[in-house]
Amino acid sequence: MFKKNHWPAPAKLNLFLHITGRLDNGYHSLQTNFQFLDYGDSLSFNINASSLIIVTPQVEGIEPEQNLIYRAALLLKPYAEKDAGVDINLCKILPMGAGLGGGSSDAATTLVALNHLWQTNLSNDKLAELGLSLGADVPIFIRGFAAFAQGVGEDLTPITPPEPWYLVIWPGVSVSTRDIFNLPQLPRNTPKITLAQLTTSILKNDCQEVTKNRHPEVAMALEWLIQYAPAKMTGTGSCVFGEFPSCADATVALEKLPKCMHGFIAKGVNISPLATTLAATKLIDAKT
């Protein structure tokens, strides 16, 4: 049975990632294609009138007040009723520092779900504005559609790439996005392309080589996966992904995965599972 207090926080893939410059504030301008996966974390929300925000379980190494889920709820609370409270439980399956956007997705799901459950009724534009203060990837999860992204990742244009099956490999290491973007050898001058040039341009991940050099486990995962499908890294890593025409084809490769690596199969989707859940929740509410 569908439960409206259970909400998905899907993974994303960067189908390519070009770094086109460095801004005065230290951030980087980029171009990328975001696509969602039908796989990710999930959160449950139990609304109450305690005025407290409680997130469980506590993430090891992160103070509760620094948890992106807590911070997202706190950002939304001024728009809710004075005594609005919530108990949030996270079911975490996406590895951290993997390039799948797990933390950003968790924050976006918190904003979208609580906007509905607390009946704050903020627009997607306002939610995306709040989300951007938490991280550059948060708005893509709030918007809920596959997109060609520019700027620091917040300038989004809807796209409809193919929706293949992916085998995603996590090589067992966590990669710091901040560390990768601070490396002097990171390419920062890839020429910008237009939306119309996506299908005719050579698309790559500008972070891939520097991450491979820093983390040999990523290089090993790519070397293994490319035997079975076109493969590249997502984000700053560490996950790599290969594209397959069917789940069966991806399963054949997964069954041969070395024991030192971890993998899962997921379908690329252009409408986020979070957006689908929100629409279904509103439909159920309208009927009750």
Alpha helices in the chain (DSSP H): 68-76, 102-117, 124-132, 138-143, 177-182, 208-214, 216-225, 247-254, 273-287
Q: Would you say 170 and 266 are in contact if contact means Cβ atoms under 8 Å apart?
A: no
Residue-wise pLDDT tens digits, 63-84 = 889 999 999 999 999 999 999 9
The topology under which CATH files domain 1-288 is Ribosomal Protein S5; domain 2 (3.30.230)
Q: What is the mean pLDDT of the chain?
A: 95
Which residues carry out catalysis? 12, 137
Residue-wise pLDDT tens digits, 221-253 = 999 999 999 999 999 999 999 999 999 999 999
Q: How confident is the model at residue 57 (pLDDT cuts 50, 70, 90)?
A: very high
pTM value surpassing 0.85: yes
Burial 238-272 (b: 16+ CB within 10 A, else e): bbbbbbbeebebbeebbeebeeebbbbbbebbbeb
Residue-wise pLDDT tens digits, 154-179 = 899 999 999 999 999 999 999 999 99
